[in-house]
Amino acid sequence: MEAKEEDVKLGANKFSERQPIGTAAQSQDKDYKEPPPAPLFEPGELKSWSFYRAGIAEFVATFLFLYITVLTVMGVSKSSSKCATVGIQGIAWAFGGMIFALVYCTAGISGGHINPAVTFGLFLARKLSLTRALFYIVMQCLGAICGAGVVKGFQKGLYQANGGGANVVAPGYTKGDGLGAEIIGTFILVYTVFSATDAKRNARDSHVPILAPLPIGFAVFLVHLATIPITGTGINPARSLGAAIIYNRDHAWDDHWIFWVGPFIGAALAALYHQVVIRAIPFKSKS
């Protein structure tokens, strides 16, 4: 039996489009109102304990993320046989699993970003203020530096010998290859974040908020499987910065710009795609 359809007026070109009932492109959903965009500047947040509590949650989450994941990388790197350790799949599972757990734990406090690229993408979509976005990014970077520092304290000589988990473009690949891998990988992650946390889906399906950390963590896992051989997989500027600062070798800094520019471009593209294509927010008819 065919699903019912309704017309959707697109304000950009005045043409009607047929969409099945229940799709996010509809101009209106029953009992749903689009949340207002966050203000660009919100100085009042600086007087709120919840603002600082969220920043502390981002710091701790990013600290734990770097601690577990870089320790896992060290365990694989120091083994003479990759078959004797968890290998690349295990590294990917460590990154994806930690994101799943940490997003689940911190989503109700800070939103569970744990990644400046995610914060940047959500800021572009007006999901949080510039004040909060900058605070989150600073706390994420500090947490990453501390997490990588603790790993170095545990591993000592092995940390330097095995590259400290720092992101670099692998031999045989160009800087363009690395940049492209970071852009696409971050696009996948941030696109998944937008889809998994979409307010309209949460209003329609009560199970969505509970399951949201799962697709986000799985996206991180899959991107790591695909791009570890190319760049070691950054897709998180705080993770790349923390490892680079503690490792502190010239070759770790040579390509470091890739792990900021790539994720921020990927996050911006994901935000644009979700807002314009998936949600069609800028083009809805106001009638």
Higher pLDDT pick, 119 / 78 = 119
Adjacent-strand bridge partners of 10: 284
- Domain-embedded: residue 122: yes
Sign of CA pseudo-dihedral 184, 186, 192, 195: negative
What is the mean pLDDT of the segment spanning 269-277?
94
CATH number at residue 230: 1.20.1080.10
* Distance from C-alpha of 260 to C-alpha of 139, rounded to nearest angstrom: 16
Residue range 76-102, pLDDT digits in tens: 765 555 555 668 899 999 999 999 999
Model's pTM, two decimal places? 0.84
Query: Distance between CA atoms of 137 and 133, rounded to whole angstroms?
Result: 6
Q: Give the pLDDT confidence of 130-144 residue by residue, as tens digits.
A: 999 999 999 999 999
CA distance linking residue 197 with residue 219, whole number of Å = 14
What are phi and psi for residue 54, nearest 5 degrees?
Answer: -65, -40
Q: For residue 45, tell me if it sits in a domain.
A: no
* Total domains in the fold of the chain: 1
When comparing pLDDT for 259 and 38, which is higher?
Answer: 259
Report yes or no on 134 lying in a domain: yes
Q: Do 15 and 24 meet the contact criterion of CB atoms below 8 Å apart?
A: no
Mention every residue, 6+ apart, whose C-beta is less than 8 A from residue 25: 8, 17, 19, 278, 279, 280
**Tell me, what amino acid is at 202?**
N
Whether 57 is in a domain gets the answer yes
The answer to whether residue 30 is domain-embedded is no
Domain range spanning residue 121?
50-283
**Which of 266, 114, 116, 98 lies closest to 190, judged by CA?**
266
Residue 111 lies in a domain: yes
- Higher-confidence position of 246 and 74: 246
Q: Is residue 273 part of a domain?
A: yes
Name the token pair of 225. 């499987």
**Across 227-248, average pLDDT:** 96
In a domain, 147, yes or no: yes
